[in-house]
Amino acid sequence: MADWQEITGGITAPRGYQAAGITAGLKPSGLPDLALIFSEVEAIAAGVFTTSQVKAACVDYCRQRLQAKHSARAILCNAGQANAATGNEGWFDALESAMATAQALNISSESVLLASTGVIGQRIKMDALRSGIPKVVAALSETGSDAAGGAIITTDLVTKSIALETTIGDRPVRIGGIAKGSGMIHPNMATMLAFVTCDAVVSPHLWQQMLVRAADRSFNSITVDGDTSTNDSLIALANGQSRTPAITEWGAEAEKLEAMLTAVCQHLAKAIARDGEGATCLIEVEVTGAHDELSARQIAKTIASSSLVKSAIFGRDPNWGRIAAAAGRAGVPFEQENLQIKLGDFLMLENGQPLQFDRAAASTYLKKASVGAYLQQDTVLISVNVGNGYGVGKAWGCDLSYDYVRINAEYTT
């Protein structure tokens, strides 16, 4: 059993955090579009960002800030304009956004981090942002997580939030998070955004290492459509307000904190994959028997990202050949005669040999997932074994429906 429990409160569940989300007039829809997360004290900050060569101004800004200073107090996120591929003007807009936020909060601009999401090539509507920043600061609340989660989404159908609590040094420690993402999801860090808060005391070096590993096992293991965004950002704050002993080196307490951080990130990552544009179910792929974890995750992610596999799941077609083909092209060596494939409880391939199975029942299994309860009974499980190695890895994706094409064909029109 996990050494933590789920609690309410999302991003503001950890001690010493406030959040808000408002409508500032950035989105043409008139929906909430400006979010702010604020720590009452300076917090250790870590970040993992897109590896795309075309990056949003907020990504470059945050990288520079975190290289110079491993702490922050605020994260401002606008939705509606990605502020990516916007040249020098976009960079100056980012600088102004940070300065305006700092002034409204009465903190240093070096303590403000930024995130943006929306249409690539569009600058932030600065007039709306300037007038919105004082309003979002005024709206900050210890119960503002839901409002912030609602203000960062674009094509998402649902908000994504989680909070967990454990005990370290006989005191409760909490980690909360919110995320957005539905399309353009194939993270390489991971459009997706995720923000995490924690009230533990942890050194900057350890916190960054923990976040990188958590990202690899969560956001870097999901896919919706194979497209990596220009704005992918995962930012995590740890403000020490739990008053626990400082975690400065690897040990049992550091392992426990990282495991809970990974669990938070995996929950948010799966929620993003499940909310893929037009998706009807979540796909979870587990690969065992590989040489190492990295190889297993590479095979799993290749299967989860296969358009043919995703289309077959949407068509409720238990076509295991597509799974085998995807595993074979993952770039990871394995012996074909060792390959085993299961769809749910249906064993379809064993020792590289096809088996007889109830195709109608397997199809029914896929149909049930499409109407199952959100992140509970709506998951299609694909299990693949490639040998006798110790490597185990997971990846998550979603099926590929007609609606995905419709949504993206009309994205800016």
Evaluate if residue 335 carries a pLDDT over 80: yes
More confident residue, 78 or 278: 78
Partner residues linked to 283 by β-bridges: 380, 397
Whole-angstrom distance, CA of residue 306 vs CA of residue 145: 35
Task: Say which DSSP state 367 is in.
Answer: H
Q: Mean of the pLDDT values across residues 9-36?
A: 97
Quick one: pLDDT at residue 402?
A: 83
Candidates 23, 50, 191, 228; catalytic one: 191
Evaluate if residue 72 carries a pLDDT over 90: yes
The tokens describing 331, both together, are 């770039």
Whole-angstrom distance, CA of residue 40 vs CA of residue 231: 27
Evaluate if residue 329 carries a pLDDT over 80: yes
The tokens describing 15, both together, are 């001690």
Mean of all residue pLDDT scores within the chain: 93
Q: Could you read off the pLDDT of 47-70 as tens digits, one per residue?
A: 999 888 889 999 999 999 999 999
Q: Mean of the pLDDT values across residues 402-407?
A: 79
Q: Mean of the pLDDT values across residues 329-347?
A: 97
Q: Could you read off the pLDDT of 122-159 as tens digits, one per residue?
A: 999 999 999 999 999 999 999 999 999 999 998 888 89
Instruction: Mark whether 86 is an active-site residue.
Output: no
Whole-angstrom distance, CA of residue 266 vs CA of residue 241: 24
Q: Could you read off the pLDDT of 91-134 as tens digits, one per residue?
A: 999 999 999 999 999 999 999 999 999 989 999 999 999 999 99
Percent over 70 (pLDDT), the chain:
96
